[in-house]
Chains A and B, each alone.
Chain A
């Protein structure tokens, strides 16, 4: 297991490097630059700017300097657009926000979704089952960009219970978390339900029941673990989708999170911020997939690394 993790981490380094090079080249091949504006800058001013930000070097040297800056000093450079700030500062401010509502959404989606799925499976074809399936299908067709305006309309405009956006305290977390988690919760509920149904009819559950174990123990100790396997494999892609979802949440709820910074950096050609966030997201995705694989091995004894 330990060597397996080491091996995966070793592969992560060239993967990230490749990601850096490809993003860098793609980004620079897009028309326009960070200083393209409606008022075309006098050539001398533009030259001064390019010199200050190292954009007058050949592309290969820019990449080398950039990677060296990260490796040697963990310096992701200055933002080209938010000029008072470095990329590190922008990430340090925005990432904790995104991480907070991201993790909360993740927890809500997994806990609520899995409970709903298990409950539905245990009372198969009962009213509870139909209700759970109904809720999860309903939630599935409400992606975050539909949920967000509905939530604001109801809880901010009509009921005046919650602030319509911003990031000042826990009451600001509620709507982003609901908006982001709803459709994942629904998927997890459906996956859990069908997988649970399958497990409940399998031989080892029949054996467990036959030896007279209480139902609680049958479900929690013997059924839940194998039933969670497909859910866990869903968590990898779900995590990536949450990152994309955070863009919508950031824009709609003005949280000041990293998702909005990511989109802005692409539109503004803020090369440094875009690279910084790309690397962060890339590293997180690699890390998360590794965690999922390790969980897999832990849950399913048939999987060996």
Chain B
């Protein structure tokens, strides 16, 4: 199954009117009297400020109380948000967005291009101290690095309001996936007058002014968030769901219990419980691909063990791990065994043929791993000792134990090191590890969100894998007409050099109430919008 390409940008550029995408209720369906949707949050929402929020869960709430230039539909394709369409200049570096004239803030004021200009400058402004300021750099917005560093004023950021309903953005390199990046919550507009009047309190329920399909009516930290339909929203007539409620439940199993008691419409399924629930509730237990990848990072840098600088050892470690056991016996939730870095369901991405993945079965891989270790000078008489570090979690622990048993077969003695999250992360940033558990969730639905990480200049490359050929491929991909073959080259280099051991690609494993319709089925980012939802009568 291949998830469809996002956004036909040419179609948008031509100004084709795409269907506005509020709840798409088929004819003949009877709606329930109670149009409310209650969903689960693992943790308290850290911030309701789009430019301050850093969490996936926070974004789930923000997408409903704010609206950016574009939204996504159930397949992850872009649909108009505040922007109706856009034009791209010939050099691919200037985007001009045409904003809809009927978009309004929840206090009745019109949403204008100036609101976006203010918000984007606010994101980059060092005075805001946003942890997501770098997203402006990632978007390649002109002068973003200098503004963040304080070397240029926020006014010099490459974004400008041509008039009230035309927004112009200048970027430094052509980015074919630039429009996809605009569904990210940090690019959502905020209303300057409200932010300035109320300071840090502007996000309080009752004070917050948004432009989304819902307004924030209650927020009790760590308990619940309540959002009610916003009648000033431009497409309010087509919004069916009246109330969205998010309940914070800090324990996955407790979440499931409360779902089964009928208190929630959607909840994550704890690891290992999917097969049982699928059998008991076949219509409710669902597994869909999710844009994250689970790996073990190998420390190939100066501070790492010498053995890991030997490519044969790195390959042997990767070959010896039986991923099928991990996904089929431990996780059991529709996750996929992975032999590469980029998530399999990413738009347009197709994994290249890789010898170790496609031409060998696990027993052959194991034999090859033993041979490689012997070649590198390790064996039963000279075993290799390594540590495998992971952050506190039952699942990470189970996988690490399984991996250490698998690696024992090729004469590698693994010591398991469990650290609390912040310590784990800190040690990784300081290259204080041999092998470490790592997961990355893509910011947008395009392969570069993964592949950029492994460049020597990414700043996220904790294993210090510095490879000129890889850097070149990724640099070339930025200007290539079709970057996909280069992405495949990048994956081939990773398979050859093996600086990371791919383990599995994530899936969203959920219980969803049968009468709730309109949640995305095929959106790898799993971005959902309350305005698309409806509850059918029993």
Contacts and interface: CB of A to CB of B under 8 A. Distances in A.
- State whether these chains interact: yes
A245 interface: no
B44 A264 contact: yes
Contact of A45 (B43, B131, B247, B425): B131
Contacts of A163: 263
Given A30-B423, A254-B248, A164 B254 contact: yes
Contacts of A42: 133-134, 137, 148, 459
Query: 4 closest pairs, A vs B, by CB?
Result: A32-B422, A256-B223, A32-B426, A256-B222
Interface string B64-108: 000000000000000000000000000000000000000000000
B133 A252 contact: no
A78 to B, nearest CB: 7
A163 B224 CA distance: 14
B260 interface: yes
Contacts of A255: 222-223
Interface string B408-429: 0000000000001111011101
Interface in A21-45: 30-33, 35-42, 44-45
A41 B130 CA distance: 10
B200 interface: yes
Given A37-B54, A260-B250, A267 B421 contact: yes
A254 B52 contact: no
Interface in B106-121: none
A288 to B, nearest CB: 25
Interface string B429-447: 1000000001110000000
Contacts of A261: 221-222
Interface string B34-48: 000000000110111
B57 interface: no
A130 interface: no
B149 interface: yes
Interface residues of A, number: 53
Given A40-B462, A149-B254, 4 more contacts: A42-B148, A94-B221, A167-B220, A254-B223
B2 interface: no
30 contacts: A32-B425, A32-B426, A36-B422, A36-B425, A36-B426, A36-B429, A40-B462, A44-B149, A45-B131, A45-B148, A49-B129, A82-B44, A83-B46, A83-B52, A84-B200, A94-B222, A156-B257, A156-B258, A156-B261, A165-B258, A166-B223, A166-B247, A167-B223, A251-B250, A251-B251, A254-B254, A264-B43, A267-B420, A267-B421, A267-B422
Nearest to A97: B223
B471 to A, nearest CB: 18
Contacts of B149: 44
B460 A40 contact: yes
A250 B44 CA distance: 12
A40 B249 contact: no
A269 interface: yes
Contacts of A252: 250-251, 254
Nearest to B425: A36
Contacts of B148: 42, 44-45, 48
A30 B420 CA distance: 11
B294 to A, nearest CB: 12
Given A52-B129, A166-B223, A84 B422 contact: no
A261 B222 CA distance: 8
Given A32-B422, A84-B203, A267-B420, A164 B257 contact: yes
Interface string B147-177: 0111000000000000000000000000000
Contacts of B127: 48, 52
A256 B248 contact: yes
A31 B439 CA distance: 20
Nearest to A163: B263
B49 interface: yes
Interface of B: 43-44, 46-49, 52, 54, 126-127, 129-131, 133-134, 137, 148-150, 200-201, 203-204, 220-224, 247-251, 254, 257-258, 260-263, 420-423, 425-427, 429, 438-440, 459-460, 462
B254 A37 contact: no
A207 interface: no
A94 B223 CA distance: 10
A165 B429 contact: no
A107 to B, nearest CB: 23
From B52, B130, B258, B423, name the one whose CB has the most chain A CB atoms within 10 angstroms.
B258
A132 interface: no
Interface of A: 30-33, 35-42, 44-45, 48-49, 51-53, 78, 81-86, 90, 93-94, 149, 152-153, 156-157, 160, 163-167, 250-252, 254-257, 260-261, 264, 267-269
Contacts of B126: 44, 48
B343 to A, nearest CB: 16
Contacts of B47: 82-84
A40 B133 contact: no
Given A48-B126, A84-B48, A93-B221, A37 B425 contact: yes
A83 B203 CA distance: 10
Contacts of B247: 165-166, 254
A258 to B, nearest CB: 10
B221 A82 contact: yes
Contacts of A38: 425, 438-440
A256 B220 contact: yes
A14 B212 CA distance: 51
Nearest to A93: B221
B44 A160 contact: no
Contacts of A160: 261-262
B355 to A, nearest CB: 31
B248 A31 contact: no
Contacts of A269: 422
A44 B425 contact: no
Contacts of B420: 267
B204 A84 contact: yes
Q: Which of A45, A52, A255 has the most CB of B within 10 A?
A: A45
B438 to A, nearest CB: 8
B200 A78 contact: yes
A81 to B, nearest CB: 6
A149 to B, nearest CB: 8
Most buried by A among B47, B48, B250, B460: B250
Given A52-B129, A84-B47, A157-B261, A40 B459 contact: yes
Given A36-B422, A44-B149, A152-B254, A166 B224 contact: yes
